[in-house]
Every structure is written in structure tokens, then in C-alpha cells.
Structure 1
Amino acid sequence: MVATLLRLRFRVLGNQLARSPWQLVGFIFGAAYGAAVLAGIVAGLVLLGFGDLQLASGVIVGAGSLVTLGWALVPLIAFGVDTTLDPDRLVVFPMTLSRMMVALALAGVCGIPGIITSAAALATIATWAHWPAAIVAWAVSIPVAVVTAVVASRAVASAAAGLGSGRRFREASGTLVFIPLILAGPIIVGVATGFAVNADTIAEAVTVLGWTPLGAAWAVPAAAAAGDLVGAGAKLLIALATLAALWLLWRASLARSLVRPRQTSAAPVPVGSIGWFGRVPTGAAGAIFARSLTYWVRDPRYLRQLVGAPLVPVLLWFYARDGDPLVALSFSGPIIAIVIGIVVWADISYDGTAFGTEFITGATGRADRLGRTLGAAAVALPLVVLAVVLPIAFSGEWEQFPGILGMSVGVLFTCYGVCAVTSAQLVVPVAAAGDNPFKRVPGTTFLQGMAFFGIWLVALVLSAPAVIVGTIGFFTQNVTLSLIACALGIVVGSGLLVGGILLGGSLLDRTAPALLARLKAMKNA
């Protein structure tokens, strides 16, 4: 049964790649990138073997601890990362819980992250081969280290799903975990500046990690190479105890989740209340506007796109705190505009097959483009204007307000104009409604990421005139240039927005059937 499930996993992957040549190309690019990274790691481990033992131990134990921590943290951001073998779907198979756990663990090892982790862990022999006493310890401890990382990921995912069986808990926890990831740079810099980071402190930290569940398995060969056989044995016992504890935790939480499915709930709604649909103008564009605004207000997949917006001023202040933070904060508006303006580049994807309901009503593509743009702008435009007003209010340089406002509005409108065209042609795999918004779904490719950055670049280029004029006017304190940037940003941005809605609407009238077919294919994948 375990072998059958593994074959099923690779069959699903093969079918996904065969369905789309672009997915296959993206997979090849991703695999080539992973192979290049792995080659660099192997080369580094070979060279590390020619250094001293303290350096080799510090690098391998420190990096290994981070790898284990990374495996454990990923499920907090993306519930059910491997959606090919979902425990909720495997419950109908005639198999014991232990066999299911073995199958899920092996599937984790056979995935791309598992293969890279396993290959890099095996490659540490190139380092430890210079100390013969470490070779036996390596053969025993490295498999434990890799399996511990995979089991930790599964155990945390299963435990988190059990603790957050409610949909809102899963959504909120995934969003909250995303915030420290955005602030990771300032947090790391703050810790580094708060402590004297040097070779001695790093060595002390690595020594401590070697006695923790994170680094014990990775530290066994280092202790053996140093001649500390008692220490190596003790660390191996810690590693085995950690693996056993994680396995038992996973088993208990998985057994509980399989007999107690995740709960869903709906808030009570007063009779006759139709939300935004009763507050906006009627007609196709108005209905799509109301639906889009409802998504932006209530759907966590949309709300997560706004998480980074309030953090932009925090990051700007942090990196400019040694100079004049108000200067950096003055550009919060344009940066927030480019961050949240581009997120609708393929927003029909979030409709799923429900897009068919709109399609069969006969709504025009122009009405769709207009309604979606109004929904997104109703949320984004107040945030952008607030980001423009507050820094200027603190600095008191109101003569620069027109330029910053023109840049911000111009960038936002330009992004919406570009996305009105791209989202009429592109649909991409996204988390389904009700799933964690950070969940990675099968079918995402490297080329989709490249397409996103290409669209971002186009929007930046088209909005560059207003940004360049406004920036020059800001730093030269030229009021005339500030006014020109305001007019340029609003006029050009509005023109591009109108043009994007018209062109995108015309394209959508022709591409809607194909988009719906692709959405249905992704749902059935």
C-alpha cells in the first residue's frame, strides 16, 4: 500500500506536467535551479573538509539546525503543504495508521525539498571523511536528522490542524505568522546589533544547538570527530528521543484529526441582508463591484495581500533610522501602491469555477474589468492616500504633497490598468476558498513567478515618468516639478487604467470560455 501511494504521488505529478508544456518548462527550470544550489552546497562541504574541525562543526551543526527549524515552521505558514497525499483523502484507503504515516513520511522525503535536504545531508560525508571517527557516526545520525526534519513538518502540520480545526483560526494564524517573516530582516539585524557577534559567540551558540532537538543529530559526527564518544552517544540519544517524541505527537494528532474532521461555520445573517450588493449601483458592473469588494473585505486570500502594506512604513523607518526617517517614510505611498496594486494580476483565479456563474449571465468583459477594479481600488486607494498624508503631516512639507500623491495614484492606477489586461488572459493555481491562504497548491511553476515579476516590471516602466519627475521635485524642493508630477501621475495613470479596462474587457469577451475551462481543469487536478 505504501508503494502504491508513492506511485500515485508521482503519477499525479507526471499528469500535471503532461497537461501543460509551460508547467513542464517551469519544473525543469526549478529543478535546474535546485541542482545548481545543491552543487554549490556540495562544493562548499568538500572545501569545508580541508578546514579545522571547529569551523566544520559550526557550519554543519548551525546550518542543519536551521534546516530542521525551517521544516518545522513551514506548516505554520502553509497548512498541508503536500496536497498530493492529503491525510483527509487517504482515510478511505484500507491501511493502518502506521502505514499511512510511513507513506506520508516517504512522500515528504521524495518531494523536491526532501530530495535536496537528503542529498545535502548525505554530502556532509565529504566533510566528515577527513575525520575517520566521524564516518560511523555520520552513517547512523544523518538518516535520523533527515527523517526528524520531515516528521517534524508532518507533526507540526497535523497538530496545527487539530488545534485550529476552525477555519477562522487557520486563516488568522497563517496571516499572523506571515508578519514576522516580512520583518525577518529588521529582527535579525536587531539581534545582531544587540549582541557581539563574533567567532566565539557563534561557536558557543553552535555548541548549545548541538545539545538541542534541532541540532543533536547533526552534531553527532562532530562530537565523534573530536574524540568525545560519550558526547556523541548522548547527542544520538537526544536525536532518537526527539524523533520518537515527534512520531508519537504526529500519530496522536493525526489519529484525532482523521476521526474529527475540520469544522466549518458561518456567521448568522439578518433576513433580507445582501451586504454590499444592496449598497452599490445595480447592473453587471455594480454586481461584480459588490462581489469583488466582499472578497477584499472577507476572503483571507485577498486580505493576506494587504498584510504587507502597513509594514512598509515600518521597514522604511528601520532601514533609514540612522538618517532622516521622514524622507524615507514620504515614499510609503508609491511603494504601497506598487505592492498592493499588482496583486490582481490574475484575480479570476480566485473565483475558481464560480467564474462560470458570471460567464453565463452574459456580463461583458468591460463590466467585469470595471467592477473588479472598483472593488480593489475601494480598499487600496484609502490606504495609499493615508500613507501619503501621514508622513507629510509629520514633516510639515505640504508643498511636496502633490508630487507624492501623483506618484502614488499614478502607480496604483497604472498597476490596475496593466492587471486588467493580464488577468483577462491568465489563471494560475491558488489556494481554494476555505484553505489556508498561504497554502502551496500543485501546479505552481517557476514561470508563473517570472510572469508576475515581468508584469510588475511593465507597471514600473509605464509609471516611471511621474515617479522620476516627482522624485526630482521632492529632493530639489521644486514645487513646480511636484505639481507636474501630480498631474502627470493622475492623468497618465487614469489613461492607462481606462485603456486597460477597455482592452482587457475586449480580451475577456474572447478568452472567458478558455479561462473557465482551465479553472475547471485546475479544480479537478
Structure 2
Amino acid sequence: MAVTLIIRMKITVLRRSLARTGVHWMYSGTVIGLLVAVGTIGIATLDAQHPRTVGDLLCAVFALWTIGWILAPAYGGQPLLRAEHFAVLPLPRRRLAHGLLASAFAGAAPLVTLVAFAALVMFASSAGVTAVLVAVFGALLQLTLVVLLGSLAGRLFGALSRSRLGTVVSAVLHSVLLVAASSGWIVFIALDSVLLSGFSAGFSGVVRTAPTGWAVVAVEASSRSDWPMTALPLAGLVALILVLWLLWNQSLGPVRWTQTIRATQGSAAAIRTPSSWAVSGRTGAVFLKELRTWQRDSRRLQSLVISPTFALLTCLVPLAFGSTSFLPFIGVLTALMAAVTSVSLYAHDGTALWLALVLPDSERADVRGRQLAWLVLFAPMSLVLSAVGIAFSGSIELWPVALATTCAVLGGGAGLLPLIGLTQLTPVADPREAKRSGADQPGLAGQAFVMLLLTLCLITPATTAAVAGHLLDSLTLRWGSIAIGAGTGALCYVQLGRNAQRSLTRRGPELLQLMRTRKEDVRSKAGTASLIKAMPRSRQRLLWTCFSIGCIALFPQSLAPLLMKMSGDVAKVWFLALYMPTQWQWPVIALMFAIGAFFLALAVRICVTGLRQLRHEARSKASAE
């Protein structure tokens, strides 16, 4: 009875949360998951020269699905139903464990995973009825295994999220997921060679020894009528599930993982901030406050970790093809990710904005202090990573463009951060109410998109000068691009900071009211509606389509082959221009750049038009009142 009630409660909470946050996110995620699951089934139908290759490939893919279940709580936050919700009810721990585990099977994710694990049945279909029955039993065991692992991981990550260590771990996992999502095309490139030559003996042994490969081993053994080797892996899965069940049952006891870790004044974790050399006056006070906030607030600490981790992993991926062309741009990508992930600078402070508003003439100090703190944290990191990447790459031709774009992104990001954070403010959970996960920031995609787009526009002058210097073989243009990048960054820092100061002075009380209430009607009245949310659905789809096409044409199909051509270190991979005859490569790169710039400009035009409409509606409502 209790199990049924808990499952019904999970479905009710899920339905109401979807009605509040938007059901289209669940539908789109389910469709994408089903497409990946169908691709997993397709792997089981591949033809390979080596007899063990398809089995090894399935073992590896099943391991990736399992890793996805383990890492999902780090991104999506804790599950909807937790043991703490039932603390005052007289439920035995074993019955509660049964109910919570059964409720974990209710949802789209287990269904999609079951479809993916049906690849095991497809793999066994050519070996007879017995192998199919073994595959069905193995698929159900694997589904139970991943759900148990995901539940335990959710319990663990929920506890770690209250400590700095947990925040760092969560940020690293987010970076790995982002890199996997942006560089997943490498799997398809390597697939052809794997089907021809097969995996190495060491890799094959590892993926088959892991529990995620035991079901595949059992199916292959049943096709050979090797019944001891059929039963042994399945018995191992059953035993592992029982062990995980006992751990899950024990984890629902007295809560010992949820003690918040705080740094005390006398502890080794106490924050040490500069004092003697810091900027004096009000700006210095905001600067020191921001430095402490960056190290204490879990959401800002995630940004501090995600930026260099994502940049390092992304620029190291091309080494799989023997290309070092992207190493000089580790610092650029670090600064760019730092700007994108820090765009909600004011939103994350929540109602603490009143501290700046109650002091007369404190707006300038608040904006400049935040800018200085962001630069002090990310500028040395980006420049050092750029220097290290340049040193290891050995591509002297890329030094000017790497340094120029790093300076431009740092200055432009520091200028855009307060401006976008105020003009496109989207309220999120107050710091005292935040869940410490990526799931409590659903409305910040619009801000991040605007930041990414505008930052890329700001590096255009320096990049153009560097590319022109390479094509014209002009050292003056190459090294002059560094001065252009530094000048662009300095100008953006000063001028955009002034614009942010004016915006805070003019609309500070309205923004405070918006963050305090987090209501749509107040947001519209203040004229600070989230730009993306306020657009019609058709306009949103057009915006994201233009943005996706523009990014694909501009980055992988234009800038990536351009950098390879400049460095002389060419790896064709999936870059269209590099497959063309030599005389057509530069024109194709230019064409892809023009296509990317056109679609991104169209996306900017859509955003500007929507912003004008919002301001017109806000003025109309204000005049009517």
C-alpha cells in the first residue's frame, strides 16, 4: 500500500512540476533520449569483421548509459521524493526503501533506458530463442542496476552539494558532460575504423569485466551453449543488485551526510583575501566582498571550476587526432566560459541587492568592484593557460590571435557581465533557498546566449586583423592584433561598465522588487521580462535554429579549419573545407564564416526586435497606469 502511494505521489509531483516549469523540456529531452536509444539498438545490428567487435561496442555503450545515470543527479539535483520528506511518518525503513526505489522507475528516463537496453535483445536475436530469453533477463537486471546506482548517486550528490568539495566535484562532472555533448562527434568518426580493426585486447577486457558488460558476456555464452558462463555473469548482476539494495536501504537511515561544511575564522579553509594592495574606498569594499562571495557561494564556485576544466578538456580532445592547433586557445575558452557561466552575477545575489541601493551613490562602486573581482579571478588564470597552451603547441603562427582574443574576451566579458546581468535579469532562487545544482537555474539560458553572442562579436576586430596578417604575411598586422584586442577589451570594460551603472541607478528598485517576488506580472510591469520567455514559441524555435546553424557553421566549419590552416597542423575529421581541393579550401572557409555570421546576425536581430517590443509594452503599461 505504501509503495503504491509513494509512486502515485511521485507521478503527481512530476506532473505539477512540469506544469510549472514547462512540459516542452520533458518532451524534447524524451525525444532526444529515444533517438539515442534507437541509435544504441542500431549498434547491435552493425556488421564487423572481428566477431567480438559489436559485443565490445555494446559493452562500452552500456557503460556510457550507466555513467549517465550516475552523473545525472549532479546536474539535475536531488530526486523529487527524498527520505527526508517522510521523516515524520511511521514508515519502516525497508518499506520506505521499497517505495522510493519503485518510484524511481516512474518517469521517462527509465523507459528510455529500457529501450536502449533492448539493444541486447536485438544482439541476441540471431542466436536463437534461448539467447533472447537470456538477453531479456539481462536487460531487466541492467535497468535495475542503473536505477539503483542513480538513486545512490542522487543521495550522495545531494549530501555533497552542501560542501565546497561537493560543489567542485559537481562542477567537474558538469564540465565532463558539456565536453561530451560538444565533442561527441568523435565517436562517429572513430566508429568506421573500429568496425574494421576492432578494439584492442586491453579495452575489450576492461569493458567486458565491468558489470555493465556482464549481460553481453552472458548472451554470447548462451549462443555458444556455454551454460556456466551464461549463469555466472547473471548471478553476478543479481548479487551486485542485492549489495546496492542493502546500501540504498542503509542510506535512508539517520541522515549523517547532510551536515553543512562551513569555514570558520580560525580554520584552514578560511578565505584569505588581499587587503593592503586592494582598491580603497567603496569599490575596494565591494571588491573584497565579491572575492569572498566567489569562494563561498556554491553557484559561483561552480563557475570558477567549470571554466578552466571545460577549456582544458575541450582543447585536449583534438590530440586524439594528433592536432595541437587548439592548445593556444585554452585561455580564450576559459575566459569565454567564465563570462557565460557568470552572467547571472546579480541574479545569484538575490535580494542582497538592497545593500547597494540603500547607500547613496554606490552604484558605480558596486559595478566596478564586481568587474575587478571577476578580472582578478579569471584574467591570470586565462593568461597562464594561454601561455602554457602556446608553449606546448609549438605553433608560433597562432600566438598573436590567441593573445589578442584572450585580451578581448577578458575585457569584453568584464564589461558585459554587469550590463547583461542587469538589463536581462532573470530572478532565480535566493541564495538561502538555492538547491546548489544546475536545475535551479532554468531561466538563465537567454542571458547565457546573449553573453556568448555579444562576446564573440567583440573579438571580431582582433581576429580579423590576425587572420589578415596571416593571409598577407604581415607581421605588423599579426602582432598589432594584440593591441587591437587589448584596446577593445579596455574600451568595453570602461564604457559597458558605465552603461551598467546607469541601468542600476535608474532601475535598481524595480530589479529588487523583481528578485523579491519573482512574479511574471511584476516582471512585465518593470519592463525586465526574460527576453527568451516573452517570445512566441515560433520565434523561439527560429531563434534557436539560427543560433545552432550559426554556431556550427562559424566554429567547427570555419574557425577550426582556419586555425589548422594557419598552424599547418591539419586533421580533416569532419571539417568540410579540408576535404576540398587546396585552391577551394580558403573560399569554403570564408563561405562558412559568412553563413555562420549571417545566421548569428539574424539571431541578434530577433533578440533586438523582441527587446524593442518588450520595452514598448512596458512603456504602454506605464502610461496606462
Q: For the superposition of Structure 1 and Structure 2, which TM-score range results when normalised by the shorter chain?
A: 0.7 to 0.9
Which residue in 1 is equivalent to 2:5?
4
Residue deviations 1:129-181, cap 9 Å, x none? 4431123223323221101111123334546778x698244345445667877
Q: In the aligned structure 1, how far is the partner of 2:49 from the partner of 2:430?
A: 46
Give the conservation status (yes or no) of the 8 Å contact 2:412–2:489.
yes
Pair 1:139–1:202, CA change in 2 (3 A): same
Please report the TM-score for the alignment, with normalisation by the length of structure 1: 0.76
SS in structure 2 of the partner of residue 110 of structure 1? coil
Pair 1:485-2:486 in alignment: no
Q: How does 1:76-115 map to 2 (within 5 A)?
A: 77=74, 81-115=77-111
**Amino acid of the structure 1 residue aligned with 2:7:** L
Which residue in 1 is equivalent to 2:143?
146
Give the conservation status (yes or no) of the 8 Å contact 2:130–2:222.
yes
Pair 1:314–1:199, CA change in 2 (3 A): closer
Which residue in 2 is equivalent to 1:374?
372
Which residue in 2 is equivalent to 1:514?
514
Q: In the aligned structure 1, how far is the partner of 2:217 from the partner of 2:498?
A: 62
Please report the TM-score for the alignment, with normalisation by the length of structure 2: 0.65
Q: How does 1:371-520 map to 2 (within 5 A)?
A: 371-387=369-385, 405-424=403-422, 425-427=424-426, 439-442=437-440, 444=442, 448-449=444-445, 452-453=448-449, 455-473=451-469, 478-482=474-478, 484-508=480-504, 509=507, 510-518=510-518
**Amino acid of the structure 2 residue aligned with 1:417:** G
SS in structure 2 of the partner of residue 496 of structure 1? helix
SS in structure 2 of the partner of residue 215 of structure 1? helix
Give the conservation status (yes or no) of the 8 Å contact 2:413–2:455.
yes
Q: In the aligned structure 2, how far is the partner of 1:440 from the partner of 1:427?
A: 15
**Amino acid of the structure 1 residue aligned with 2:3:** V
Per-residue deviation, 1:298? 4.1
Q: How does 1:317-336 map to 2 (within 5 A)?
A: 319=318, 329-336=327-334
Q: Which has the higher contact order (CA 8 A, sep 6+)?
A: 1
Which residue in 2 is equivalent to 1:227?
225
Residue deviations 1:440-486, cap 9 Å, x none? 425637xx557634531331123211122134436766342145423
Per-residue deviation, 1:380? 1.6
Match of 1:258 among 241, 255, 260: 255
Which residue in 2 is equivalent to 1:268?
265
Per-residue deviation, 1:322? 9.1
Which residue in 1 is equivalent to 2:337?
339
Give the conservation status (yes or no) of the 8 Å contact 2:356–2:363.
no
**Amino acid of the structure 2 residue aligned with 1:456:** L
Q: In the aligned structure 1, how far is the partner of 2:441 from the partner of 2:274?
A: 33
Pair 1:57–1:328, CA change in 2 (3 A): closer
Pair 1:176–1:361, CA change in 2 (3 A): same
Pair 1:137-2:134 in alignment: yes
SS in structure 2 of the partner of residue 488 of structure 1? helix
Per-residue deviation, 1:313? 6.4
Q: In the aligned structure 2, how far is the partner of 1:455 from the partner of 1:281?
A: 30
> Where do 5+ consecutive residues of structure 1 fail to align?
none
Match of 1:294 among 292, 314, 319: 292
Pair 1:231–1:350, CA change in 2 (3 A): same
**Amino acid of the structure 2 residue aligned with 1:5:** I
SS in structure 2 of the partner of residue 85 of structure 1? coil
**Amino acid of the structure 2 residue aligned with 1:227:** S
Give the conservation status (yes or no) of the 8 Å contact 1:407–1:467.
yes
> Where do 5+ consecutive residues of structure 2 fail to align?
523-625
Q: In the aligned structure 2, how far is the partner of 1:59 from the partner of 1:387?
A: 36
**Amino acid of the structure 2 residue aligned with 1:462:** L
**Amino acid of the structure 1 residue aligned with 2:150:** S
Pair 1:149–1:387, CA change in 2 (3 A): closer
Pair 1:106–1:40, CA change in 2 (3 A): same
Which residue in 2 is equivalent to 1:19?
20
Per-residue deviation, 1:51? 11
Which residue in 2 is equivalent to 1:67?
65
Number of residue equivalences: 501
**Amino acid of the structure 1 residue aligned with 2:87:** V
Pair 1:34-2:33 in alignment: yes
Q: In the aligned structure 1, how far is the partner of 2:320 from the partner of 2:140?
A: 46
Give the conservation status (yes or no) of the 8 Å contact 2:351–2:512.
no
Per-residue deviation, 1:237? 0.8
SS in structure 1 of the partner of residue 416 of structure 2? helix
Q: How does 1:352-363 map to 2 (within 5 A)?
A: 352-355=350-353, 357-358=355-356
Instruction: Please report the RMSD computed on the Cα atoms of aligned residues, expressed in angstroms.
Output: 4.7
Q: In the aligned structure 2, how far is the partner of 1:481 from the partner of 1:219?
A: 61
104-113 or 147-156: bigger deviation: 104-113
SS in structure 1 of the partner of residue 439 of structure 2? coil
Q: In the aligned structure 1, how far is the partner of 2:313 from the partner of 2:118?
A: 41
Per-residue deviation, 1:430? 7.6
